[in-house]
Amino acid sequence: MADAMAASRDACHQRLATIFPAGALVWIEAEEYDADGMFWRVTLLSRNTSGHWERQRYRYDIPTEVVFFMGSTPISDEEAARIRRTALRLPTGRTLQARAV
């Protein structure tokens, strides 16, 4: 079970990384696994197109490997600095390999 959960978490991170351009500053503030619904809830910190920090929420559906954007909330520079000090950075700009059929 732990291996499947870790594999789905890695797949989630890989899919999220493709949303952002290479080198974008993105941190994983929170993530929660839902075994019953077979999805991950992930909250990211990144800059919006205006350059302001925001908290973005996503849901990764494990069976379909689809990421759903669930909304965003602006946050202060101070709160963003706190999150960046403690959160894991998401490597961005990756491309996904095609699945073998």
CA 57 to centroid of chain Cα atoms:
8
For residue 64, the enclosing domain spans 2-89
Reference 14, options 35, 34, 28, 33; nearest CA is 28
Q: What is the pLDDT of residues 42-90, one digit of tens each?
A: 999 999 999 999 999 999 999 999 999 999 999 999 999 999 999 999 9
pLDDT one-digit tens code per residue, 8-43: 999 999 999 999 999 999 999 999 999 899 999 999
Q: With respect to residue 67, please indicate whether it lies within any of the assigned structural domains.
A: yes
Evaluate whether 87 touches 13 at the Cβ level (below 8 Å): no
The pLDDT tens digits for 74-85 are 999 999 999 999
CATH code of residue 69: 3.10.450
In a domain, 20, yes or no: yes
User: Do the domain assignments include residue 96?
Assistant: no
Number of independent structural domains in the chain = 1
